[in-house]
């Protein structure tokens, strides 16, 4: 079975183009080191819920949009190897500065998941 990393983050709508540039660079880096798939998706149908929802999970502000992303690997071992290389990649070093990132990383959440079903 495969392994998946995922995250949800709020991005100011005015920064969506800058975020897209960052995401494209990240996609190239992750794929270069062996990720099987890399997807970053912008919210289209994510209404606030009664108790919880994508907007509520990141304390979405009126001028922001939710990004949902996931990356697929062969295994957790492969993910761990790829992430170690990604975190040292010079193409990302300048982009991962909290002052220059086009979104609020403090409201982002992420995690790794074992695949339960794959068809």
Domain with residue 81: its CATH number is 3.30.70.100
Above pLDDT 70, what percent of the chain?
A: 100
Do the domain assignments include residue 48? yes
pLDDT 10s digits, 29-87: 999 999 999 999 999 999 999 999 999 999 999 999 999 999 999 999 999 999 999 99
Phi, psi (rounded to 5 degrees) for 2: -85, 175
28: domain range? 3-95
Answer whether residue 111 is part of any domain: no
Considering the domain boundaries, does residue 119 fall inside one?
no
d(CA 74, CA 97): 29
Q: Is residue 30 part of a domain?
A: yes
Contact call for residues 63 and 14 (beta carbons, < 8 A): yes
In the chain, the DSSP E strands lie at: 3-12, 37-42, 64-73, 109-114
| In-domain check, residue 101 | no
**Under a CB-based contact definition with an 8 Å cutoff, are residues 10 and 66 in contact?**
yes
Whether residue 114 is contained in a domain is answered as no
Are the C-beta atoms of 82 and 35 separated by less than 8 Å?
yes
> Is the residue at 117 inside a domain?
no
Count other Cβ atoms within 10 Å, centred on residue 9.
Answer: 24
Please count the structural domains in the chain: 1
Q: What is the pLDDT of residue 17?
A: 96
Q: Is residue 112 part of a domain?
A: no
Q: Count of CB atoms within 10 A of residue 109's CB?
A: 10
Task: Report residue 111's pLDDT band, with 50, 70 and 90 as the boundaries.
Answer: very high
The sign of the dihedral angle between the CA atoms of 37, 65, 86, 93 is positive
For the chain, report the end-to-end CA distance as a whole number of angstroms. 11
Report pTM: 0.91
């Amino acid at each position: 079975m495969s392994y998946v990393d995922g995250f949800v983050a709020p991005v100011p709508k005015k920064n969506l183009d800058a975020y897209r540039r960052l995401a494209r660079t990240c996609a190239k880096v992750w794929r270069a080191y062996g990720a099987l798939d890399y997807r970053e998706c912008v919210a289209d149908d994510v209404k606030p819920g009664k108790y919880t929802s994508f907007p509520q999970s990141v304390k979405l502000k009126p001028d922001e949009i939710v990004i949902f992303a996931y990356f697929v690997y062969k295994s957790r071992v492969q993910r761990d190897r790829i992430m170690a290389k990604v975190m040292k990649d010079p193409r990302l070093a300048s982009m991962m500065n909290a002052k220059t990132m086009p979104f609020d990383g403090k409201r982002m959440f992420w995690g790794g998941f074992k695949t339960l079903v794959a068809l």
